[in-house]
Structure 1
Amino acid sequence: MFRTRPDARPATVEVLVEGDPVLVPEGASAAAAFLLAGHVAIRETPVTGAPRGPLCLMGVCFDCLAEIDGVANRQACMVTVAPGMRIARQHGARAARP
């Protein structure tokens, strides 16, 4: 679905997507890293568990909510990748703190 241009060879950053190492272009979003890793659904809805994937990629729709470095409900399209970042699918709603 999404591919980098063949003539573009930017610096790369290694992140972990669902525990697997993935090289992504420096400056890419965490949502882009998830898509580059071959995943489509980045979260499940809290009510029905329906799969959702990044849609707008500009911070408007909230369909790209993911767990990033252990923090749930992060808008993956608004977070720039960093070396060693851990990006994981979000299942349902995050747990409420007591």
Structure 2
Amino acid sequence: MTDLPLWEYRVIHINLESGNPPDPPSAEAASERLRGALSPEFIASEFPEFYGAPPPPRHPAGQLQFFLNLLGAEGWEMVEASQVGPLLMFFFKRRRQPA
């Protein structure tokens, strides 16, 4: 008897509706959500990767390529891309490791 491969799946979606992109993270807004418990300056200095100067915008194709390469490095293989309403769905699979 042969052992059949076991698979795990991952589904990622991208919203295709036009509209404004979300605002970048703001240390001031984070401080307000914390009711001033931490100052915007403290938040920005402790979490520069989130509240530092935003990186220059990249073309959406470059962003998607970067993201797909991250998943590929984790062993995910894209098996299909389909549009469902305003969503572009990406379907990935990888061989599941035995427990």
Q: TM-score, normalised by structure 2?
A: 0.22
Relative CO higher for 1 or 2, CA cutoff 8 Å, sep ≥ 6? 2
User: Which structure's residues are more often helix, by fraction?
Assistant: 2
Asked which structure has the greater CA Rg, the reply is 2
Q: TM-score with structure 1 length normalisation?
A: 0.22
